[in-house]
Amino acid sequence: MIVDHWLASARQVTSPNADARPADEISGVVLHSISLPPGHFGGDDIEALFTNRLDWEAHPFFESIRGLRVSAHLLIRRDGRCVQFVPFNRRAWHAGRSRWQGRQALNDFTIGIELEGDARPFTHAQYQGLAGVLRALESHYPNITAGETVTHEQIAPLRKSDPGPSFDHQYLLGLMAG
């Protein structure tokens, strides 16, 4: 269920890395994956990154992303729990330079969902959580067709490779049909 553009079942952690959408349009979903530091799951580093609190000195990798100001609407943890950083009616800074089906600047009209992960397979709990989120988005926002989600690698193929080959879109569609 979505209440005032917040997923009721998600823990809320507000990110400053968001702004107003240029038009009142929400018509797509972009899937991403993230682990911070790379290969590590759990912990506070993703939330710290999305809220500009990351300790740049805490891990050598963090120097390569120092000063990055990004966010997503949702993070789905390995256990399926959701954390929401940006209300859906605001623009999260997740897609960067992007293009899909002749449109650019996908942050303007999409919802960004991060899956906690890397090249390893995502968990069943994450797929179940994602399927539930996509059903809720589809029922609340009439321009979203949940089965037509795109990935970061599809909209920015020369820059990004997430969520990567371990993401099983067919499995997700089966759960949604289910």
Clarify whether 47 is annotated catalytic: no
What Cα–Cα distance (Å) separates residue 90 from each residue in 19, 22, 26, 80, 119?
6, 9, 9, 24, 30
Phi, psi of 99 (to 5 degrees): -155, 135
Q: Residues 31, 106: contact at Cβ < 8 Å?
A: no
Within the chain, how many helices (H) and strands (E) appear? 4, 12
Of 25, 57, 114, 153, the catalytic one is 114
Q: Residues 1, 34: contact at Cβ < 8 Å?
A: no
Q: How many CA atoms lie within 13 A of 24 on its CB side?
A: 2
> Residues 135, 114, 1, CA angle at the centre, nearest 5°?
30
Which residues are annotated as catalytic?
114
